[in-house]
Amino acid sequence: MTVPAIAVTAGLGIALAQGALAASFAVSGQQFKVSASSLEGEGFAQYGSIDVNAREELIPVAVTAIKEAKLHSLCQSVVTTLPVVGDISLNLTAGKKAPVEASNLFVDATQLSGDAVFSNIEIGRDASTLDKGPAEAVGMQDLFAQQADTVSITDLQQTAWATNAGTFKLSGLSMNISKGKKECF
């Protein structure tokens, strides 16, 4: 019984050391939604990976990594259901007048949609050889990946487990908590 547990733990340790696991922290048990009217990015990479929650459960994700990103009309929401109280929504908005700016942005997502345009895209590249996104944006050898010089997405909608950024400048930041289910999309 303990042999499989030790093997899984050792495998997770190796994967973390090799950068195969996406988020650098234990993700919560809740996904959140993010939308933006537009995203403009330089240095784009995307590859599959695994997040780990506090219970050490593995969660498959698609990592989208961008060296420099600008987002217009950003919305982020998460809904928590509490006993007796019911649904509580946390909503964050920014970038209505001046764009939200992020460097070395990593999003561990399970869903992404919008209208996208890529420049100089490479689809099917080995994830361990990525070199257009942030320096840390590499996946495991032999796994599928794609990268591009630039990315432009309008009407962005994504569901994610985690977001990391070197810097994250939120102009016009507004956050509120309300009763009920109020999501970005």
* Residue 177 CB contacts under 8 Å (≥ 6 apart), including other chains: 88, 89, 90, 91
* Euclidean distance between CA atoms 165 and 158, whole angstroms: 17
Binned average pLDDT, 10 residues per bin, the chain of 185 residues: 44 47 84 98 98 95 98 98 96 98 98 98 98 97 98 98 97 98 97
Query: How many other β-carbons are positioned within 10 Å of the β-carbon of residue 9?
Result: 12
pLDDT of amino acid 10: 45
pLDDT of amino acid 23: 72
Predicted structure pTM score: 0.87
Residue-wise burial string across 52-83, b where 16 or more C-beta atoms lie within 10 A, e elsewhere: beeeeeebebbbbbbbbbbbbbbbbbbbeeee
